[in-house]
Amino acid sequence: AQKVTQAQTEISVVEKEDVTLDCVYETRDTTYYLFWYKQPPSGELVFLIRRNSFDEQNEISGRYSWNFQKSTSSFNFTITASQVVDSAVYFCALGQAGGGYQKVTFGTGTKLQVIP
């Protein structure tokens, strides 16, 4: 069975601080995909990044960076110099490979509040 754990329910930081959102996953698949989605207060789900299980390179996109470590089954997300607009719920998700369809299992989300 697939499982995604986001142990941090809520995090508050002061603007300009760095913050890391943790994600630990479980799967028996050797091929899988990992995602991060952002859900701002308006409610929509915004795609941030996709990673496949064969690509452990870390990625940086502006103030966002992701650290994928298969050895610890973790896919952590860091926001550098946080801004108030970063306030949202962030979901880590695991995509099941094979079977001809995509089934994504979401974590419970981490609510990030950036205080001005």
Partner 1 sequence: EPEVTQTPSHQVTQMGQEVILRCVPISNHLYFYWYRQILGQKVEFLVSFYNNEISEKSEIFDDQFSVERPDGSNFTLKIRSTKLEDSAMYFCASSERSVGGELFFGEGSRLTVL
Among 12, 103, 113, 115, binds partner 1 (CB under 8 A): 103
Q: Is 57 in the site for partner 1 (CB under 8 A)?
A: no
User: Whose Cβ is closer to partner 1: residue 62's or residue 99's?
Assistant: 99
64 binds partner 1 (CB under 8 A): no
Which CB sits closer to partner 1, 91 or 114? Answer: 91
Judge contact between 68 and 60, C-beta under 8 A: no
CB of 93 to partner 1, least distance (A): 8
**Least distance in Å: CB of 39 to partner 1?**
8
